[in-house]
Amino acid sequence: MAKQNELIEQKTLFEFLAMIESQEPMLQYLFHVPNGGHRHPVVAAQMKSAGVKRGVPDLLFPIGFGQYHGLAIEMKAGVNRTTKEQLVWLDVLQAQGWKTDVCYGWVRAAITIVEYIGRDPKKYNLDMALDAYDRQHAKIKVPRKNSKNG
């Protein structure tokens, strides 16, 4: 069920980003890496032979801003934790000048993305959205921010 919740969070994030993309056109280059999920063993083997790698972050934004060469986000929902492979990828990307983050829920991911492109999250009412999101998910204890760098 955790993967399904994560999928819902990612869909909601991309719905939000679509609403602001006309104001922030660079966001069109942010994309989801469809690595996770349960697949038929034959399909999984085909994907692996085609180059799919375990642990690649869920979201990649290969556009540099400020001191960073790109942004990589590992999305989580509920009480999911990062795997060893995911942490390795985040460390490698960070060492290559990328900003990396683990975001619990779509609102935290949206804040990370908006801040990455140099905008104030309040411009898009994300501060209020985060408060509402936190109240809705109060039963689940997750880190407020689990950033790999800055």
* Average pLDDT in the chain: 86
- Region 25-47: mean pLDDT is 79
Amino acid 144: pLDDT: 47
What CATH number is associated with residue 87? 3.40.1350.10
Per the model's pLDDT, the better-predicted residue between 30 and 34 turns out to be 30
What does the pLDDT read at residue 3?
64
Domain count, the chain: 1
What is the tens place of the pLDDT at every residue in 105-122? 999 999 999 999 999 999
Give backbone dihedrals phi and psi of 134, rounded to 5 degrees, phi first: -65, -40
SS3 track for the chain: CHHHHHHHHHHHHHHHHHHHCCCCHHHHHCEECCCCCCCCHHHHHHHHHCCCCCCCCCEEECCCECCECEEEEEEECCCCCCCHHHHHHHHHHHHCCEEEEEEECHHHHHHHHHHHCCCCHHHHCHHHHHHHHHHHCCCCCCCCCEECCC
State the residue range of the domain holding 71: 2-147
Around Cβ 79, how many Cβ atoms within 10 Å? 10
